[in-house]
A and B are shown apart, each in its own frame.
Chain A
Amino acid sequence: MKKNFNNPKNLIVAVVLFINLCLISCGNGGNSSGAGSDSTASAGSEDNTLLGAGSTFDNPLFSKMFSEYNKTTGLRVNYQSIGSGGGILQLTNKTVDFGASDAPVNSKQDSGLSSPVVHIPVTAGAVVISYNLAEVKDTLLLTPEVLADIFLGKITKWNDPKIAAINKGVKLPSATIVVTHRSEGSGTTNIFTTYLSKVNEDWNKKVGKGSSVNWPAGLGGKGNEGVAGSIKQTPGAIGYIELAYAIQNNMAYAKVQNKAHNFITPSIASVTAAANIQIPADGKVSLTNTDAADGYPISGLSWVLIYQEQKYKSRSLDRATKMVKLISWMIHDGQQYSAPLNYAPLSPAAVSVGDTILKTVTYDGKPIL
């Protein structure tokens, strides 16, 4: 009997604890999206952990890099792959030490930032055009115009004269082209649509570029695996996927004509080649359709984003120095982990621009490096 009488009290204690828990976690939620991030930052500095957030594309490479860096220096990095847009938002709210993005900060996002942010190129990737044509044994060749017309829904049959004209001697089937694209917002889509906007006026006017766009034709698959699955299953399908994913899954992909009119097979080497161009001092450059003669045209850089002035909120000089050193390591020694994971190592031009940018990062007006 006595126990029974006590039960409701226990219940209440449990309820109170539960509510406390809720309040605590809500408080943290507020921190991560709102203003009061002091606690997070200081807690992090005590236990030697840096916080980062952003691109999902970078995540496998970053995991490898950070675990290697941890072995030599003991510094831990907590990277959340929440998407490039999310990473920029977290940096804007100053809840992370650095952001990572596959697209440079755009003007709309820039207006939210309280002080300038620098872009340090950290790795490069490419988007490949994969297709499912069982009858075709040769590698398909594509020109920018044909590619844009296919994704605009203007070319609907594989034996269209325009495709036949560039693939002489290849027997093309009369199958309908099933266009496949990413359903969710993604950096891959951003690179691909940026490329199409650059090479095709019609695409630029009708669709434009962005991490998600209003697709004039086709089906959406979720993630690289969704698009790849759709391509594998559907005869006559065409779609765009990340280079690393295509290599790992042995998918057929087309050679695409670059600005120098060469048909280029996408590979780690041809992506690095595409990045070996004059890179502007701010590091914000699109690798799509570059002048590089042997560069693959649908390539893109990925950046680490940090505030140029590191003294904000309650940040310590120690924390800022650790982070800048980490990023410097990433663009030099860290690059050795790129190729095994099918990321393209930075070109020498990109590394030297990254070095120059890191030297402009200051703490209380004084350079850190």
Chain B
Amino acid sequence: MDRTVDNKFTAPGEVSPGVIDSVKKTERLKIRTRLKRSYRQIRTESVFKRTLVFMGLLMILLVFGIMLTLIIESIPSMKAQGIGYLWGKTWDPVRDVFGAFPFLLGTLLTSFLALFISVPFSISIAIFLGEYYPKGWLSNFLRNVVELIAAVPSVIYGFWGLAVLVPIVRSFETKIGVEPAGVGIFTAALILAVMIIPYAASLGRSIIQMVPSSLKEGAYALGATRWEVIRSVILPYTKSGLFAGILLSLGRALGETMAVTMVIGNTSLIPKSIFAPGNTMASVIANEFTEADHPIYLSALIELGLVLFLVTVIINMLGNRIIKRFINE
């Protein structure tokens, strides 16, 4: 049995006895180099894979490390304040009474208000760039401008807000008859809204461009207008992607610090309306960390960081749930 196989294998080589040797040699050499190459390939493959796994693990390690540090560092404050920290309404570093509620409220109010303001703009830009003008100089120009919005440092937004937006809001507040402070939750939300537009817009644009043209052409063939195609083909198809972009924007809004702290009014009192001054968790940490001069105060600020971390995690988890449900539909 083995012989026949062997014979078959060497059959093409058996032309003339003199040639056989040299052919065998070159053949063997070829096989050897081939083997060498595949060993190297295998090694490269495994090294590359290991690098990827390592990078992934490093990220997980980093996130859990951060969380662990936050938890450990905030233990003194947890012991002192208990769970009442979350709904305590007073933040008094002099008397060591710490309640995060005004800042938790401020963070959620500014972020969701900003999202509410920015979504119509970001979705419009996404549709405009994705469906109406996917190519051409105007499209390129607009796309670059939108991306530039994300590249401007947030302190610039803060100064712009303070110098330009605050006086406008103040005169608006005078007109509608609320206390004309100019700074406050509303102004902060406006600044945030501008800052987060690019995230939802650029993700939305690339997703809208990915809608199969057969679907759109089918709808056009049935006599649908452009608006009808957008409403009943593109939007349903890209729902989950658009939502993911909005979630990305929200994440950015929750953590934004510098621009917010410059225009929000920074008061520890609970805001009475959206025009009242308030404060956010990130802004309080940035403001008070350097001069937190006793351990329990420092710990309370770190606990604020932990709360912000958890809020972000919870919102992301809820968001992913919603995206999954969209996909299942």
**Residues of chain A whose beta carbon lies under 8 Å from any beta carbon of chain B:** 5, 8-9, 11-12, 15, 82-86, 88, 103, 106, 108-109, 176, 178, 183-187, 207-215, 218-222, 226, 229-230, 233-234
Q: Is B266 close to A, CB under 8 A?
A: yes
Q: Number of residues in B with C-beta < 8 Å to the partner?
A: 43
- A86-B290 contact in complex given A15-B51, A178-B181, C-beta closer than 8 Å: yes
Pick the contact of B294 from A106, A208, A214, A218 — CB < 8 Å?
A: A106
3 tightest A-B CB contacts, nearest first: A185-B291, A220-B266, A183-B266
* B residues less than 8 Å from A211 (CB atoms): 291, 293
> Nearest chain-B residue to A2 (Cβ)?
B40
Q: Mark B267-293, 1 if CB is under 8 A from A, else 0.
A: 110000000010100010011111111
Q: Mark B130-156, 1 if CB is under 8 A from A, else 0.
A: 000000000000000000000000000
Q: What are 18 A-B pairs with beta-carbon distances under 8 A?
A: A11-B51, A82-B290, A83-B291, A84-B291, A85-B290, A85-B292, A86-B290, A109-B294, A183-B261, A183-B283, A185-B288, A185-B291, A219-B266, A219-B277, A220-B277, A230-B183, A233-B182, A234-B181
**Residues of chain B whose beta carbon lies under 8 Å from any beta carbon of chain A:** 40-41, 44, 47-48, 51, 54-55, 90-95, 97, 162-163, 166-167, 170, 179, 181-183, 261-262, 265-268, 277, 279, 283, 286-295
A108 to B96 CA separation, bound complex (whole angstroms):
12
- CB atoms of B94 and A109 under 8 A apart: no
* A residues less than 8 Å from B166 (CB atoms): 233
Pick the contact of A184 from B55, B94, B291, B295 — CB < 8 Å?
A: B291
* B residues less than 8 Å from A108 (CB atoms): 293-295
- CB atoms of B287 and A222 under 8 A apart: yes
* A residues less than 8 Å from B54 (CB atoms): 15
Distance between A198 CB and nearest chain B CB, rounded to angstroms: 14
* B residues less than 8 Å from A183 (CB atoms): 261, 266, 279, 283, 287
A11 to B183 CA separation, bound complex (whole angstroms):
49
Distance between A196 CB and nearest chain B CB, rounded to angstroms: 12
- CB atoms of A85 and B291 under 8 A apart: yes
Pick the contact of A186 from B55, B268, B291 — CB < 8 Å?
A: B291
A85 to B291 CA separation, bound complex (whole angstroms):
5
- A176-B179 contact in complex given A208-B95, A213-B94, A219-B266, C-beta closer than 8 Å: yes
Distance between B35 CB and nearest chain A CB, rounded to angstroms: 15
A207 to B40 CA separation, bound complex (whole angstroms):
72
- A184-B179 contact in complex given A84-B293, A219-B277, C-beta closer than 8 Å: no
A233 to B55 CA separation, bound complex (whole angstroms):
50
Distance between B215 CB and nearest chain A CB, rounded to angstroms: 39
* A residues less than 8 Å from B91 (CB atoms): 214
Given contacts A106-B293, A208-B94, 5 further A-B contacts (CB under 8 A): A8-B47, A15-B51, A108-B295, A185-B287, A234-B182
| A/B pair count, beta carbons within 8 Å | 114
- CB atoms of B290 and A8 under 8 A apart: no
Distance between A46 CB and nearest chain B CB, rounded to angstroms: 30
Distance between A221 CB and nearest chain B CB, rounded to angstroms: 7
- CB atoms of A185 and B290 under 8 A apart: yes
Distance between A219 CB and nearest chain B CB, rounded to angstroms: 4
* A residues less than 8 Å from B288 (CB atoms): 184-185, 212
- CB atoms of A226 and B262 under 8 A apart: yes
- A222-B90 contact in complex given A184-B288, A184-B291, C-beta closer than 8 Å: no
Distance between B61 CB and nearest chain A CB, rounded to angstroms: 11
Distance between A11 CB and nearest chain B CB, rounded to angstroms: 6
* A residues less than 8 Å from B267 (CB atoms): 215, 218-220
> Nearest chain-B residue to A81 (Cβ)?
B290
> Nearest chain-A residue to B184 (Cβ)?
A219
* A residues less than 8 Å from B41 (CB atoms): 5
- CB atoms of A109 and B293 under 8 A apart: yes
A233 to B293 CA separation, bound complex (whole angstroms):
32
Distance between B159 CB and nearest chain A CB, rounded to angstroms: 9
The residue in B163, B277, B290, B295 that gathers the most chain A C-beta atoms within 10 A of its C-beta is B290
Pick the contact of A209 from B92, B94, B295 — CB < 8 Å?
A: B94
* A residues less than 8 Å from B182 (CB atoms): 233-234
A209 to B286 CA separation, bound complex (whole angstroms):
21
* B residues less than 8 Å from A11 (CB atoms): 48, 51
- CB atoms of B266 and A214 under 8 A apart: no
* B residues less than 8 Å from A219 (CB atoms): 181, 183, 265-267, 277
The residue in B41, B51, B266, B293 that gathers the most chain A C-beta atoms within 10 A of its C-beta is B293
* B residues less than 8 Å from A88 (CB atoms): 293
Pick the contact of A83 from B55, B265, B266, B290 — CB < 8 Å?
A: B290
A8 to B42 CA separation, bound complex (whole angstroms):
12
A176 to B291 CA separation, bound complex (whole angstroms):
31
A23 to B35 CA separation, bound complex (whole angstroms):
40
A167 to B92 CA separation, bound complex (whole angstroms):
34
Pick the contact of A212 from B93, B97, B162 — CB < 8 Å?
A: B93
Distance between A68 CB and nearest chain B CB, rounded to angstroms: 27
Distance between B55 CB and nearest chain A CB, rounded to angstroms: 8
Pick the contact of A222 from B40, B55, B266, B292 — CB < 8 Å?
A: B266
Distance between B65 CB and nearest chain A CB, rounded to angstroms: 11
- A229-B162 contact in complex given A178-B181, A220-B266, C-beta closer than 8 Å: yes
* A residues less than 8 Å from B289 (CB atoms): 185
- CB atoms of B40 and A5 under 8 A apart: yes
The residue in B91, B92, B277, B295 that gathers the most chain A C-beta atoms within 10 A of its C-beta is B92
A317 to B47 CA separation, bound complex (whole angstroms):
54
* B residues less than 8 Å from A12 (CB atoms): 47, 51
- CB atoms of A9 and B47 under 8 A apart: yes
A215 to B289 CA separation, bound complex (whole angstroms):
17
- CB atoms of B51 and A85 under 8 A apart: no
